[in-house]
Structure 1
Amino acid sequence: MRPFKNILVIRTDRLGEFLLTTPAFVAIKKAFPQARLVAAVDPYLRELANRIDCLNEVITFSNRKHSLGEILHFASSLRKRRFDLCVIFNPSAELHLAAFLAGIPVRVGYRRKMGFLLNRTIEDRKYLEEKHEVEYNLDLLKPLAIAAADTSLSLNVGRDAADIERKFSLDAGDNIVTIHPWTSDPLKQWPVRRFFQLAKSLSIYPGVRVVMVGRAEETLRSDELFLGHAKNAIDLCGKTSLVELAAILKRSRVLVSGDSGPVHLAASLGTKTIVLFRNDIPGKRPKRWGPWGEGHTVIAKQDLADISVEEVFGKVKEVLSI
């Protein structure tokens, strides 16, 4: 294996997919410890990606369709950096073309979406759901003869925790239960009102602080359903950056959520999760997309409406020992 000196890893899709690639980033850095490791990510993820210790630099390429001119500009910027290895984790004709035009000597990726522009490829078998997404990402390193000894997720937000406590008036002694009720896919949505019923039930326990989180677009729905309905609770929907959300999850005892990016963010920080899944949707089952690591709870049923508030409440009480 040649001693690569300047390596580019690309994962430009969503939060969860990106985080589940971090063990592969670590494996590459351990295989080539003297190399400079640069990640190309969606701009939304840049600040968070800078908290991954094995990365030397983070650059951006948006997760959208690009014009030919934009692709050529990106390829030109990569050529100037003189990368000698590129690993593309989310197959894309645009990314494959950019890496080829950049003249990167070794280009690793999947044998699809103009995969002929790459020169180290494997078949994309993710649709079969035979293993977890973390394991599929590590499989992509086989053409480089890299095997990972450590497959844990890792993210460094320790320095942000104290700032979060001050900004949002969180007590160091609080047992924080963070709830993320939202999903971009209606098929994966546990009834939102049940999340709020859960928050109300939890908030009556002394020492328990319920924190509701979500993106800005969920603020109005959260205000309507949540404000004033749960004591000792705080609604932070639309009020945090990704790094601030990470710091809140780091401080939490547990996250309750449907299948979503914050689940993998919490798992990256060592925070326990309780995740509600449908187990009948091809491509979206917990075997591939469940929380990675130990200490997590998955409740999976064919119909999410069959998951009761009482069942989820019982799992949270087990984590909190209340």
Structure 2
Amino acid sequence: MRQFKKILIINIFGIGDVLFTTPILTNLKIYNKDVQIGYVCNRRTVSVIEQHPCVDQVFIYERDEFNEVYKKSKIAFWRKIKAFVQEIKNEHYDVVFDFSMNTFTGFFAWMAGIAVRSGFDYKKRGIFLNKKILLEGFDDKHVVEYYLDFLRKFNIPVKETRLSLSIGEKDQQGALDYIENKNFKKPIINIMPGGGASWGKDAYYKRWPAENFAKLADKLIEKFSVDIILMGSLQEKELCQQVESLMKGRPTVLCGKTNIMQLAALSRICALNIVNDGGPLHIAVSAGSKTLSIFGPVNEYVYGPYSREGHDVVTADIACRPCYRRFRRASCTHISCLKNIKIEDVLRKVENLL
């Protein structure tokens, strides 16, 4: 293929999805060290991308902010779109890789005058794309592999497949200072009983029960003589406090006290990170941390840690899982795929990883 000078990446989904695109950034720079890469993401994921060494410019697209303007004034809404498109147009991108499966993002790429517009054509939403990759869902391979198909479509070699996250010196040193000031004397296991924000009000469908995390934490202290940290977002603070209240031991609770990069830096210091399926898992994986993840309705071979080196997954062997297919979760009232995972199952996996 011809050497593109400027490439725009669009991914307006959650943290995990954005991290799944990082091998593309790395391979683009390997293929052409002088290529300039722009990235369109939402406000929640901007910190993941703005520090990445392969990304030259970040554009924030927050759908809710556009919708709020639309409710107040259609004229103001179109002015906001025009200003956003113009900001991108001024950069003169040659090609866009659009992972958003969204007609609107294809539209603004077209409006920005980007000549080559490649993206997933999901449910015929790719009407503004001219290099389409047909997609019905992520089913038979990991999401990262679906994303790397963009490079293959343009005959760009795939030489690096690891997820990457650039942790600044300030965040890394801050994590080290925190551990030193807390005077931890034992190996640290980080437990994240939430799972990020991507499933919203349905997030509990991906969460192993809080009482199980509490019993697991106490057994880890007893069996392996470790210190326990509980981490998560501010929205998961109550959940972390619930786990703490059910424990016999005394964990250090950091829920809501770290930003994404600080969480990544702390996860890197820990001997192990035990997490549910979700963004925090992929933050830890991208940071080079060791993880044990608990998967329920979601297929771990499609959405799990990538790659598996230094990582393991716990699942329940029941016929109805995985039930999350083609971006839809089956109606379920029992969530047996998580409730059937025993504490002893997790402990055995921990022993293999420590």
**Normalising by structure 1, what TM-score?**
0.90
220-229 or 155-164, larger mean C-alpha shift:
220-229
Aligned match for 2:299, one of 285, 292, 296: 285
Aligned counterpart, 1:52: 52
The structural deviation recorded for 1:228 is 8.3
Name the SS for the 2:295 alignment partner: strand
Check whether the contact 1:40–1:60 (CA below 8 A) recurs between aligned residues: yes
In structure 2, C-alpha distance between the alignment counterparts of 1:53 and 1:251, rounded to whole Å: 22
Check whether the contact 2:89–2:113 (CA below 8 A) recurs between aligned residues: yes
Aligned counterpart, 2:21: 21
The structural deviation recorded for 1:232 is 5.2
290-299 or 42-51, larger mean C-alpha shift:
42-51
In structure 2, C-alpha distance between the alignment counterparts of 1:231 and 1:96, rounded to whole Å: 52
Is the aligned partner of 1:295 residue 2:319? no
Name the SS for the 1:187 alignment partner: helix
**Corresponding residue pairs, total:** 315
The structural deviation recorded for 1:96 is 0.6
Gaps of 5+ in 2: 71-76, 319-336
Gaps of 5+ in 1: none
Aligned counterpart, 1:178: 190
Aligned counterpart, 2:341: 307
Aligned counterpart, 1:141: 151
In structure 2, C-alpha distance between the alignment counterparts of 1:206 and 1:256, rounded to whole Å: 14
Name the SS for the 2:205 alignment partner: helix
Is the aligned partner of 1:85 residue 2:60? no
Aligned match for 1:153, one of 132, 156, 163: 163
RMSD of aligned residue pairs (Cα, Å): 2.2
In structure 2, C-alpha distance between the alignment counterparts of 1:216 and 1:147, rounded to whole Å: 41
**Normalising by structure 2, what TM-score?**
0.82
Is the aligned partner of 1:164 residue 2:165? no
Per-residue CA deviations over 1:144-191 (Å, capped at 9, x if unaligned) read 221311111122226222212324635576422111111343322211
In structure 2, relative to structure 1, the CA distance for the partners of 1:171 and 1:132 (3 Å cut) is: farther
In structure 2, C-alpha distance between the alignment counterparts of 1:230 and 1:162, rounded to whole Å: 31
In structure 2, relative to structure 1, the CA distance for the partners of 1:292 and 1:119 (3 Å cut) is: same
Residue correspondence of structure 1 range 1-322 to structure 2 within 5 A: 1-64=1-64, 66=67, 67=70, 69=78, 70-112=80-122, 114-127=125-138, 129-157=139-167, 159=169, 160-167=171-178, 169-171=181-183, 174-183=186-195, 184=199, 185-204=203-222, 208-227=226-245, 229-231=247-249, 233-278=251-296, 281=297, 284-293=298-307, 294-301=309-316, 302=318, 303-320=337-354
In structure 1, C-alpha distance between the alignment counterparts of 2:27 and 2:192, rounded to whole Å: 31
